[in-house]
Amino acid sequence: MTLVTSMHRSQLPRSGLALGGIGTGSFEIRQDGSFQNWSIFNNNPVFAGAPYPHNPKETLFFKLWVRVENENPRMVLLQIEDSHNAGAIERQFQYIFPWLSGVDVIRTTASFPFADLEFEQDGLPLRVSLRAWSPFIPGNLKDSALPLVYFDFEIRSIGDRPVDVQVLAVMRNAVAYDQPQRIYVNRRVRDGAFSAVVCEAEQTNPSASTTGALCLASFSDRSTAYMGWEHNHPYYERCLREYPISEYDDTAGRNNVDKATGARRADPRCFVTIGTHATLRDSSDIFRHTFALSWHFPNNYAKGNQALAAGYLEDASFPGHTGSTAPAAATTEKRPRPLEGHFYATHFNSAESVARYAMQERARLLSESTAFHRTFFDSSLPTFVLDQINSHLNTLHTSTWLTPTGMFGVLEGLSPTRSFAGIATTDVAMYGQIAVSLLFPELDRITIDLWTKFQNPNGSVIHSVCCDSTTASPSEATGHRLDMPAQYVFMALRAAVWSGDRRYQEKLWPHVKAALAYVLRERDKNGDHLPDMEGVMCSYDNFPMFGVAPYVVSQWLAAIAAALMVARRLGDAAFISEYAAYFDQGCATLEKTTWNGRYFNLSSDVRPEDPTAHLGCLADQIIGDGVIRQLGLPSIIDPAKTTTALRTILEMNYKADQGLRNCQWPGDTFLHEVTSNCWVDQANTCWTGVELNFAAQLYYAGFNESAEEIIRNVDVRHRRWGMYWDHQEFGGHYFRPLSALAIPNAYLGLSYDGETLRIAPARPLPIGRWCALLPGATATLFKTHDGVRLEFRIGSVPLTCLEFACGSSGTPSLRGTEVRPLAHTSENEVCRLMFVPGTRLAAGAVIEITS
């Protein structure tokens, strides 16, 4: 009979949930049961070391040994295996090992940070499930930055006869893989329920990137291990015949003598296996077991210019450039790359110590990781909205650097073979950094301090940090992009006021003023106190804009608004006197020069070579008016014009079969024409981070249905592409889409300026519940028939005033805390509670207002 098959596009794995910690390196678990894109060895493309050379599917895998009563045993790879090299068996296995196969079906349910896989094989009398996860606990940096993955197995009998089962984990000793002089060392550890194999190497360079250790742990005193196997024989025969597999160490056999030199050298391959066993008597029996993989590779070196990629228009030949803006430390001469290290190495001195901590703290880490996940999803927002937001947290595992040298940032973009730009790219962070600001405020401040450190003497700011805490790349420190000073100011002040620390505000204040003064001094030729665009010089780096560009100017005005707020708190009367006028004048100039009655033009000035270019309708033309909602600042744009502009953007830029295009022009029907010298089409494309940020702006404005249509479009198309965990722009795992974390608060109309927490949704809330994300805290807002209730679930936040403008103005009550308000007022359906300045509301506190 002719072979006829069918395949659905969703069956081809293209991306997976990342396992690992913040800044630790990671690897993905895919829907076929394989583990891909390993970056735990300080290796490219995330870090600076040599690319990982081995087959990712055989780096780590799991298998079952199964024997039903009165039957012969068999082995099952918990993968949908390849035709060759499955289970680290070189070449094909189907004829030499007929008792071995992969599974038939894997059902995967993934929601960051948990991946749940259910395995099925025809005739297998077991229901086998795996939960793979790494701790992710906002507000708890140490435990969210562990080089650790848990693998929790649950095996149930579904037959009527007893079944003997072994569950086995296999790991390749890949330590020092790029050091040919190495020899393998596998160390067995047995300490009660803590049973492990530590993979190390000797004859290594102690300072090399790949020098370190792996620890594969099995949390059971019944665990056994086979260390140092390489060939199919006799390893697989022993695995088949022995129950349980006996303790065996053949590591010495993997280190042979080089006949030419007489030196011992490692063979190409060396694997270790560890596992445990149980007998399931009947269908009521459940066998649960946890493995953990931890790693410790402390020699993480700066990338330097290796971190950068071609395509950026960072040069020193732009208008307003007054000479060298690079910091004194910047240099192009060759030098040893600084050792940056890993944050995790400040808490743990070995992979084994991480694994021991993992066993000791597993229940707590699971509880706390689950608590945040549960609180986030305990919401009346549509499920697809919550799923889409959640998916972008994956980038905090795939793409982050966190070092004890004072460096944290998210790589701008990443592919399986290279990274794109450096970390903490300023213009992209204007979108994505909100996730860090809300979930890990201390990391937010590390990034702000890094930008501040590399600020140029003239006040301009760095574009991207080249994964080097000591030196700025000259090409990234030109100050070319005109949106970046305002972006730095806004994000720095947001971090400062959200910290609740006046001293931090005072520390940043001179740098904020320097960035603003730079623009007025060197980038404002016509004296209108606004940045003057003179070509391609913003995040849209193939869009020439001239004169007043609303995208740039709205961010400038948002920065001034934030600066005026902080100036009032710090008592800087001179700044207020000067910049308050600039703000008012700037708002008027923006509307006068670019408002066309339907939207704000791409820019104000007409160029004879392209007389209609200035008429573009940019999706985030008034981004500044959106982001200031996070701080509760006054509107930049007349609200009526904002409403009209948002409607026009939806009409002109949103295409149901594609998404929200970045920019369209009047008369565009299919695609806007792209010039022959355009290096990439940015107008007709959809940038996920822009779409999700725009959705948040729509929620703040009360366009809820439109916001959800855009989010659904993003969600559906990435599921269809199989790229759910890997959104593309300038590289994958792109930083900008972390803007999604602004969405929950936008729906609630939530703002926080470090003193006042205000909930004022643009539309009346229905009966329901919603997660509120605060810097260092997570809460749930309930709307009931009787009023509203705010329950703090995780962490704490400082405040002086708590304001509810969501339809309830009755008498407030507090419980679960000793904090009491100094006073409260209720009028016009707005309830306001005043507290002693610096009061912190923490987990357990409940504020209820009854109608």
pLDDT grade, residue 725 (50/70/90)? very high
pLDDT at 11: 87
Find the mean pLDDT for residues 526-544: 94
pLDDT tens digit sequence for 379-395: 999 999 999 999 999 99
Percent above pLDDT 90 for the chain: 87
pLDDT tens digit sequence for 568-581: 999 999 999 999 99
Find the mean pLDDT for residues 822-851: 92
pLDDT at 258: 86
Whether the pLDDT of residue 331 is over 90: the answer is no
pLDDT at 324: 39
Backbone angles phi, psi at 486, to 5 degrees: -65, -40
Residue located via tokens 């984990």 = 169
pLDDT at 639: 97
Whether the pLDDT of residue 832 is over 60: the answer is yes
Please spell the DSSP secondary structure of 210-270, one letter per residue: T-SEEEEEEE-TT-EEEEEE-SHHHHHHHHHH-SSPPPEE-GGGGEEE-TTT--EEE-S--
pLDDT at 320: 38
pLDDT at 691: 99
Query: d(Cα 567, Cα 562) in Å, to the nearest integer?
Result: 9
pLDDT at 715: 98
pLDDT at 322: 39
pLDDT at 306: 63
Query: d(Cα 558, Cα 564) in Å, to the nearest integer?
Result: 10
pLDDT grade, residue 675 (50/70/90)? confident
Query: d(Cα 499, Cα 801) in Å, to the nearest integer?
Result: 16
Find the mean pLDDT for residues 218-226: 99
pLDDT at 10: 86
Q: Which fold has domain 750-850?
A: Immunoglobulin-like (2.60.40)
pLDDT grade, residue 188 (50/70/90)? very high
pLDDT at 389: 99
pLDDT at 326: 41
pLDDT tens digit sequence for 630-664: 999 999 999 999 999 999 999 999 999 999 999 99
pLDDT at 95: 84
> What are the sequence ranges of the domains in the chain?
16-296, 750-850
Percent above pLDDT 70 for the chain: 96
Q: Which fold has domain 16-296?
A: Beta-galactosidase; Chain A, domain 5 (2.70.98)
Q: Which of 537, 446, 426 is nearest to 487 (CA)?
A: 426
**151 vs 309, residue with greater confidence:** 151
Listed range (528-532, 671-675, 776-780) with the worst mean pLDDT: 671-675
Query: d(Cα 808, Cα 831) in Å, to the nearest integer?
Result: 7
The structure tokens listed for 828 are 């016009």
**What rounded mean pLDDT belongs to the chain?**
94
pLDDT tens digit sequence for 139-185: 999 999 999 999 999 999 999 999 999 999 999 999 999 999 999 99
Whether the pLDDT of residue 329 is over 60: the answer is no
Query: d(Cα 797, Cα 138) in Å, to the nearest integer?
Result: 13
Q: 237 Cβ partners below 8 Å, 6+ apart?
A: none
Query: d(Cα 429, Cα 488) in Å, to the nearest integer?
Result: 9
pLDDT tens digit sequence for 223-257: 999 999 999 899 999 999 999 999 999 999 999 99
pLDDT at 332: 44
pLDDT grade, residue 325 (50/70/90)? very low
**pTM, rounded to two decimals:** 0.96
Q: How far apart are the first and last CA of the chain?
A: 73
Query: d(Cα 844, Cα 202) in Å, to the nearest integer?
Result: 51
pLDDT at 307: 58
Instruction: Answer whether 112's CB lies under 8 Å from 136's CB.
Output: yes
Find the mean pLDDT for residues 785-800: 96
